[in-house]
Amino acid sequence: DAGVTQSPTHLIKTRGQQVTLRCSPKSGHDTVSWYQQALGQGPQFIFQYYEEEERQRGNFPDRFSGHQFPNYSSELNVNALLLGDSALYLCASSRGNQETQYFGPGTRLLVL
């Protein structure tokens, strides 16, 4: 049973560029949440997708957007990258209205 997978594993971008990160949820899961983890800190909630719609959103600017596809996989898009966007981006999946979330390995984004 494959767990949560994310791609790419690492990414280097320059300020002002745009980036797309991808996530495939655990088998049987239909909900995907995205978190940003800065170095030495706990993950911060960005948003959550369920039934292809954004269900919850954290305190992140509109530069952060997402999408969920009919197969429940998801993308996180970040526009106009800033140096402060450098972080580990984590995807977590869960099943419907169950609170248990399982995390993927993350995508390490470095903005230069």
Partner 1 sequence: QQQVKQSPQSLIVQKGGIPIINCAYENTAFDYFPWYQQFPGKGPALLIAIRPDVSEKKEGRFTISFNKSAKQFSLHIMDSQPGDSATYFCAASTNDYKLSFGAGTTVTVRA
Distance, in Å, from the CA atom of 39 to the CA atom of 80, rounded to the nearest integer, reads 21
**Distance of closest approach, residue 16 Cβ to partner 1, in angstroms:** 28
Q: Of the candidates 56, 82, 83, 110, which one interacts with partner 1 according to CB under 8 A?
A: 56
Instruction: List the structure tokens of 13.
Output: 């971008």
**Distance of closest approach, residue 103 Cβ to partner 1, in angstroms:** 4
**CA distances to 11, 30, 58 from 81, in Å:** 12, 29, 18
Strand pairing partners for 88?
A: 37, 108
**Distance of closest approach, residue 5 Cβ to partner 1, in angstroms:** 10
93 interacts with partner 1 by CB under 8 A: no
In the complex, the residues that contact partner 1 under the rule CB under 8 A are: 4, 31, 33, 35, 40-45, 48, 56, 58, 90, 92, 94, 97, 99-106
